[in-house]
Chain A
Amino acid sequence: MNNNTEASPDTKPSENENQNNEIQEIKEFGTTNLPQEESNIHCLSIIGQVEGHILLPPHNKTTKYEHVIPQLVAIEESKQIEGLLLVLNTVGGDVEAGLAISEMIASLSKPSVSIVLGGGHSIGVPMAVSADYSFIASSATMTIHPIRLNGMVIGVPQTYEYFNKMQERVVKFVCGHSKITKESFKQLMLKTGELANDVGVVLFGEEAVQTGLIDAVGGLSDAIAKLRELIDAKKAEDNQGGVIQ
Chain B
Amino acid sequence: MIIYSIYDKEVVFGNQGYGEHTNISYSNMDIGGVSVQVSKTNNADLRIERILSTNPRDYLNPKLQPGCLIQR
Q: What residues make up the interface of A, taking CB atoms closer than 8 Å to B?
A: 1-2, 4-5, 7-11, 19, 26, 32, 35, 37-39, 41-44, 49, 52-54, 56-60, 67, 71, 74-75, 84, 91-96, 98, 119, 121-123, 143, 145, 147-148, 150-151, 163, 166, 170
Contact = CB atoms under 8 A, between A and B. Distances in A.
A220 to B, nearest CB: 11
27 contacts: A5-B30, A5-B32, A7-B29, A7-B31, A9-B68, A10-B45, A11-B63, A11-B68, A26-B32, A35-B60, A35-B61, A42-B55, A52-B1, A57-B15, A58-B25, A58-B26, A59-B19, A67-B35, A75-B54, A93-B3, A93-B4, A96-B1, A98-B4, A122-B6, A150-B2, A150-B3, A166-B2
B56 A147 contact: no
Which secondary structure dominates chain B's binding surface? loop
A158 to B, nearest CB: 15
Contact of A145 (B6, B15, B24, B56): B6
A42 B63 CA distance: 20
B51 to A, nearest CB: 10
A45 to B, nearest CB: 9
Interface in B24-70: 24-26, 29-33, 35, 45-46, 48, 52-57, 60-65, 68-70
Contacts, number: 133
Given A9-B70, A10-B68, 15 more contacts: A5-B31, A11-B68, A42-B54, A42-B55, A49-B12, A57-B14, A57-B22, A59-B22, A84-B54, A91-B6, A94-B3, A95-B3, A96-B2, A143-B6, A148-B4
